Structure 1
Amino acid sequence: MSNLATTSDNILRCARSLIIAGGYNGFSYADISEAVGIRKASIHHHFPGKADLVRTLVARYREDTEAALAHLALQEPIDQLRAYTEYWAACIGDGSRPFCVCALLASEIPVLPPEVVLEVREYFRLLSAWLTSVIERGAKQGTLKLSGTARSEAETFIATVHGAMLSARAYGDPAVFAAVTQPLIERLTAARQ
């Protein structure tokens, strides 16, 4: 049974890399078969169709993100925001995860199967709810300064972080990510007036 889980995990890991490299329509089961070293029939055994594969990938990605965010819960709000941006800065810098797979898939929503769209939206709902909660807590403590509601600040944070990923990718320069996200953190931590 563990061999099945390993094969499944390898397929998912490969699919994630292929999505980051070329998007949903930028890969096929033949690409995964070649990269993982298994027959296409084996991939279909684990994931009957591409939508099943990517839906599962996004669901696991969301679960992993939720677990990682839960580990930050004991930190101060500003430290949680910094940890989140520093995670992505490190991933972009070393190329290990140069882009959020859900952000890439979100840009493809018009052509994605509905079951994948639902999972992508659930990821963004999770991220928005977490950020809203962190920002609300920081505002109540007086450690974060809001220009609008906690929810609007959370959505701005999400858009800025994902936009910074895109800019870093477009320029081929990981330093662009910090150049965009650092002022965001500074604005939120500016002293209350």
Structure 2
Amino acid sequence: MKNYSNTFYEILTCTRSLIIAGGYNGFSYADISEFVGIRKASIHHHFPTKVDLVRTLVKRYREEAEAGIGEIERHCPAPEDQLRAYTGYWQSCIGDVTKSYCVCALLATQIPVLPKEVVVEVRTHFLALSAWLTSVLERGAKQGVFMLSGEPRAEAEAFMATVHGAMLSARAYGDPSMFDMITLPLIDRLVIKQ
């Protein structure tokens, strides 16, 4: 595995914050240069083009998400607890302007103007998240914990869309409590009351 410099990670962290704040077209290498305190040439050394930079960011974001899901599965074996841990992660991020919104969800809203290399990475994130949520819902239904009103894949897509919509609502209203107001009943509706 390649070792990267602190500057490499600082550039990615800054880019993530800038994308969350203003989207793909809302920042330039000059913005990163100013925030990180390096010359634009140094950014180009690590990421020759903006496409390279954002594609790398999304790829690493996907890897972080997959690692996070792995942690959820290790620490929360029950399907209900896995869904609560997933939404709990986002609930903890909502008040933090640098992490308050899923980078891939935000970029998905911009797909018509994104380079195809970035679109591929964003779609791969959504496919992986959908597959995981589908498996959680399938296990919950087989265990008699969840009552699904449709096919597990369709339920997973609706769950994912609702969580991302809850992020958007919290951001639109400037009220982090909107996230819980939307997501907590979402899980409660799935759980079969004993």
Q: 1:32-71 maps to which residues of 2 (within 5 A)?
A: 32-71=32-71
**Matching residue's letter, 1:16:** R
Shift of 1:94: 4.2
Root-mean-square deviation over aligned CA pairs: 1.3
CA distance in 1, matches of 2:70, 2:163: 19
SS of alignment partner, residue 95 of structure 2: helix
Aligned runs of 1:12-161 on 2, under 5 Å? 12-74=12-74, 75-161=77-163
Deviations 1:96-153 (A, max 9, x none): 5110000000000000000000000000001000000111000000001101011011
In 2, distance between residues paired with 1:15 and 1:90? 21
Please state whether the residue corresponding to 2:148 is helix, strand or coil.
coil
Equivalent-residue separation in structure 1 for 2:146 and 2:47 (angstroms): 44
User: Residues 94 and 115 of structure 1: is their aligned pair in 2 closer, same or farther, counting only changes over 3 Å?
Assistant: closer
CA contact (8 A) 1:145 1:191 kept: no
Asked if structure 2 preserves the Cα contact closer than 8 Å seen for 1:102 and 1:123, the reply is: yes
How much does 1:73 deviate? 1.6
In the alignment, the residues of structure 1 paired with residue 80 and residue 92 of structure 2 have an alpha-carbon distance, to the nearest angstrom, of 18
1:142-169 CA distances to partner (integer Å, 9 max, x unpaired)? 0011010110110001000000000000
> What is the CA–CA distance in structure 1 between the aligned matches of 2:68 and 2:178, rounded to whole Å?
24
Q: What is the one-letter code of the residue matched to 2:141?
A: A
| TM-score where L is the length of structure 1 | 0.96
Structure 1 unmatched ranges of 5 or more? none
- Residue 98 of structure 1 aligns to a residue in which SS? coil
The DSSP-based 3-state class of the residue aligned with 1:93 is: coil
Q: Aligned partners of 1:95, 1:187: CA distance in 2, in Å?
A: 30
1:15 and 1:133 mapped to 2: Cα distance?
A: 32
What is the Cα deviation at residue 36 of structure 1? 0.3
| Closer, same or farther: CA 21–95 of 1 in aligned 2, 3 Å | closer
3-state DSSP of counterpart to 2:182: helix
Cα deviation for residue 93 of structure 1 reads: 2.9
Letter in 2 for 1:138: G
Stretches of structure 2 that go unaligned for 5 or more consecutive residues are none
- State the alpha-carbon separation in 1 of the partners of residues 51 and 119 from structure 2: 10
Change (3 A) 1:42 1:96: closer
Identity fraction in percent: 68
